Structure 1
Amino acid sequence: MRTISNSSSPLLKIQIHDIESRLTQGVMSQRPGSCSLVLMERGSGEICSAKDPLKLAANQLVWLPHGETAQVRTAPASRAIIAVLPKEVISRSLPEGAPGDDLQHYLKQRLTQQGSEAAALDFVKSNLMRMRQEIYSPQPGTEQILTHLCSLVFLQIWRNLYKAKDVRPVPKSVVDRFFAMERRHRAEHLSVGDYADRIGVSRDRLGAEVRRATNLSPRAYLHQELIREASELLEISSLQVAQIAYRLGFSEPGYFNRFFQRHTGQPPGRYRKHFRRTREEASDSFAAWP
C-alpha cells in the first residue's frame, strides 16, 4: 500500500491510498474527522461497518461521509484507490451552482455507484493520481490545483448520480438557501435585505432562521465567512494581502485591513506572519524529537 500525505494545510492533509496486493488482504480504516472516496478498480472487497456493511466489486465508487466508522478491506489480487479527505476540504471545493447545492446534501450520506462507466472511473482515477502528485511535490498554486481537482471529482460523482436518476429535488429550507447563496455571492457583499429579497422572505424571518441555526445574526454570519476565507488564504496561499482583498470583493486593501483587524484583533499581514512562525516552531519541535 502506497500512501502520500502532507500536514501543512487541510488540502495537503488529503491522503491517496493505492491498495494493491497479489497475495494478502488490504485494510484501511476511515479516520475520525475525515471522509473517504473508494474507487474499486478490480477484484473485490468489503466495507466493514456495524451499521451498514457493503460488498465491493470492480468498477465501483463508494463515498463514505464524515462521521461514519468503517474499515475498507480488499481481497488478494484486487486494487482499490482510496482518497481520504478532511471534512473541511468539502466546503472549499464544492462546485458552484446546482451541483454544489445538491452535493452539499448528498455528501452527508453514503453513496454507492455500481458499474460506473469506464470513462467516468478513468476520469476520477486520473484526478486522484494528479492530486497525489501535487501533494507529494507541492509547488506555488498547489492548493488551488487541489481545490479544482477535488471539485472535478465531486462533479463526476454528481454527474453519475444525475445519469442514474438518483438526483432528486432537495428540499431547501430558508437557511439552506441562505448558505448556498452566501457561498455564490460572498465577494459581492450583498446586504441582509438583498439576501432576504432573493430568497423571498422578510428580513425578520431570515434573521430568526439564521439565528436558530447558527446563533449568529445574518450579518455576523456573512462577516464570519469572509474572515474564514480570508484567514485560509493568508495561511495557505502566496497571494499578497491586496490580492486577497480584491479577490474577496473589497474595493480598497485598506478597508480589508481594517475589517480583518476589527474581527481578529490584528491586521492580515501580522496574522500571516504569526501563523507561519507558529507553524515553523511546531515543525522544529517535532524535528527535535529523538
Structure 2
Amino acid sequence: MTAQKQLSTPIWENVEAEILQSSLTQTEYVIRGGRSHLFLLLAGQATLHMEETINEIQAPIFVWVPQGVSSKFAIKAGTRGMVVSIPELQLGVSLPSGSLGVDVRAALAEPIIKKPDPGSTVKQLQILTDTIHEELYNNAPATQDVVRYNLTLLLIQIWRASSTEITRSTSIPRSIFQNFVSLVELHITDHWTVTAYADHIGVTKDRLTSAVQRATGRSPLAEIHRKLFQEAEMQLLTSPQQISEIAYKLGFKDAAYFNRFFRKHAGMSPGQFRTKKQEQIPPKTFAAWP
C-alpha cells in the first residue's frame, strides 16, 4: 500500500514543515506548485522521480527540489526525516544579504541530491529543520521571525553541503538579472530606485534595463512592483495585522498610497481583496498538506 500526499499549495502560504515517518507503508510526496522543498532523510531509503530520472537514495541524505521542478518522492517503510516546504517569497526574504545571497540563490536554482558529512553537517541540518518544525507547531510570539532566521541558516548549510564553488558575478546579462532579482527580494520593502539597484550591481541603469527586459519582457520598475504586489498579497492573506500596519511593514509611509498601488495592480482595494480571497480558500485538511 502507498499513501500519497500532494505538495502543491498557493504561493502566499507560509513555510511549513512535517516529520517524515513511514513506519508501515510506503509514502509518496508529489511535488508541484510555487514552492521549493527540502527533504532530509535521517534513516531509511527513498525513491526520487525527478526530471525523467529515477534515483534510489539511502540516508543520511538531503534532496533540494527548487520551485518549478515537478517530482515524486517515495519514502520506504521505516524511513524517517523531515520535509520543509518554502514558498518563493519566503525563500527570497530568507536569503543572506550581499554577494553570499547571490551565490546561495544560484546554487538553489538547481536540484541538489547530496550525501552530507554524516557528522556535523547532518546534525546541523537536523537541528535547523527540527527548530523550524517546533516553532511552526507551537506558534509562539515572533514565530515567523525565528523561522526566517533559522531558514537563512538552513539555506546556507544546504549551499555549503552542496560543494558549490563561490562564483563572483560577471557583467553578462543573465548574471545582471540574477543579481537584480536577489537584491529586489532582499530590499523590496526599502523601495530602492532602479538607479540604486544598478549602482549596487555595478552597471548602468540602461544596461540593467536591457538585461531585465530581455529576461522578463518587463522594465526593472515593473518587475519591482510585481514583486512588491506579490508580497502585499501574501501579507494580506496570512497576516492578522490591519491594512495600515501591513502598508507600513511593506515600506509605504502612507496607507492611502498603498491603497492606490494595490488597486492599480489588483483592480480592487486591499480590503476587498482580503475579503474575497479568504472566502475562496477552503478549510485545510491533512490530506491537502502542506
Q: Relative to structure 1, is the Cα distance of residues 189 and 10 closer, same or farther in structure 2, using a 3 angstrom cutoff?
A: closer
Alpha-carbon distance in structure 2 between the residues aligned to 1:70 and 1:227: 31
Question: How many angstroms apart in 2 are the aligned matches of 1:179 and 1:90?
Answer: 12
Report the CA distance between 1:133 and its aligned residue. 4.4
Q: Residues 262-282 of structure 1, C-alpha deviation per residue, up to 9 Å, x if partnerless? A: 333333233323333443xx4
SS at match of 2:192: coil
C-alpha offsets along residues 21-49 of structure 1, whole Å, 9 cap, x if unaligned? 2xx56332332225432222123444345
How does 1:175-254 map onto structure 2 within 5 Å? 175-254=177-256
Structure 1 segment 37-48 matched on structure 2, within 5 A = 37-48=38-49
Query: Which of the pair has more CA radius of gyration?
Result: 1
Q: Compute the displacement of 1:199 (Å).
A: 2.6
Secondary structure of the structure 2 residue equivalent to 1:53: strand
- CA change 1:156–1:246 in 2 (3 A) is same
2:153 matches 1:152: yes
For 1:283 and 1:40, locate their aligned partners in 2 and report how far apart those are by CA, in whole Å: 30
Instruction: Find the aligned partners of 1:138 and 1:272 in 2 and give their Cα distance.
Output: 22
Could you tell me how far apart the structure 2 residues matched to 1:71 and 1:185 are? 34
Q: How does 1:39-188 map to 2 (within 5 A)?
A: 39-49=40-50, 51-66=52-67, 67-74=69-76, 76-85=77-86, 89-133=90-134, 135=136, 143-161=144-162, 164=163, 166-169=164-167, 171=169, 173-188=175-190
Contact 1:9–1:236, Cα closer than 8 Å, also in 2: no
Change (3 A) 1:156 1:263: same
Unaligned runs of 5+ in 2: 285-290
- 1:287 is aligned to none
**CA distance 1:48–1:244, change in 2 (3 Å):** closer
Segment of structure 1 superposing worse, 24-33 or 141-150: 141-150
Change in Cα spacing, 1:229 to 1:202, as seen in structure 2 (3 Å) is same
**What is the RMSD of the two structures over their aligned residues, measured on CA atoms?**
3.6
Aligned partner of residue 95 in structure 1, secondary structure: coil
In the alignment, does 2:262 pair up with 1:264? no
The verdict on how the C-alpha distance between 1:9 and 1:93 changes in structure 2, with shifts beyond 3 A counting, is same
Q: Could you tell me which residue of structure 2 aligns to residue 31 of structure 1?
A: 31
Residue 119 of structure 1, CA deviation: 3.8
Name the CA shift for 1:241/1:8 in 2 (closer, same or farther; >3 Å).
Answer: same
Alpha-carbon distance in structure 2 between the residues aligned to 1:201 and 1:8? 35
Distance 1:43 1:159, change over 3 A: same
Larger mean Cα displacement after TM superposition, 96-105 or 218-227: 96-105
Measured at CA, do residues 116 and 10 of structure 1 come closer, stay the same or move farther in structure 2, by a change above 3 Å?
farther
Q: 1:65-96 CA deviation, whole Å, 9 max, x = no partner?
A: 3414343343x544333334455553353333
CA distance in 1 between counterparts of 2:10 and 2:72 reads: 26
Structure 1: runs of 5 or more not aligned: 285-290
Distance 1:55 1:239, change over 3 A: same
Counterpart secondary structure, 2:27: strand
Matches of 1:238 and 1:50, distance apart in 2: 39
Whole-Å separation in 2 of the counterparts to 1:243 and 1:192? 26
Aligned residues: 276
Q: Following the alignment from structure 1 to structure 2, what is the Cα–Cα distance between the partners of residues 11 and 262?
A: 23
Identity %: 26
CA offsets 1:140-189 (integer angstroms, 9 cap, x no match): 7555554444333212212334xx4x333165522122222222332332
SS of the equivalent of 1:98 reads helix
Q: Which residue of structure 1 lines up, in the alignment, with residue 288 of structure 2? A: none
TM-score (normalizing by structure 2) = 0.76
